Amino acid sequence: MSGYTLDELPEWPVGTASVLATVKREQNHVLLTLQPPVPSSEIIQTRDITFFTLDGQIDSNGEQYARLLAGGKIQLELPLAENASVHATLTGVVSFPAGWCGNAPPLQLEIAPSY
């Protein structure tokens, strides 16, 4: 897999149009998968990536887990809120304090993928 240099990454068109977000609701959590606009193997430490719910579906005090997948995809396992109702979309912001890759600028992605 070919990667991209850090100098190329800030030129990405940042926003929901440039990142493919998919979501799957499971028994007591949600799996949110983010695919970058270009494949990359240079991903920051996933422990700093955080999802902030805008519609109350996710338990803000619960543990969030992030893992790297092939092609630079990131998958977040998010705990459902105890009183979460079924929604058509997952609305929120994903925060990358150290950017998506390497030492890129901090990134905040607003997302609303459909289930």
What DSSP element (H or E) covers 109? strand 107-111
In a domain, 29, yes or no: yes
In a domain, 107, yes or no: no
In a domain, 110, yes or no: no
- Percent of the chain exceeding pLDDT 70 equals 76
pLDDT at 2 over 80: no
- CATH number of the domain to which 53 belongs: 2.60.40
For residue 60, what pLDDT is reported?
87
10-58 per-position pLDDT tens digit: 334 344 457 889 999 998 999 999 987 766 656 566 778 899 999 899 9
Domain total for the chain? 1
DSSP 10-34: GGS--STTTSEEEEEE-SSEEEEEE
Please indicate whether residue 58 or residue 2 has the higher confidence score (pLDDT).
58
For residue 57, what pLDDT is reported?
93
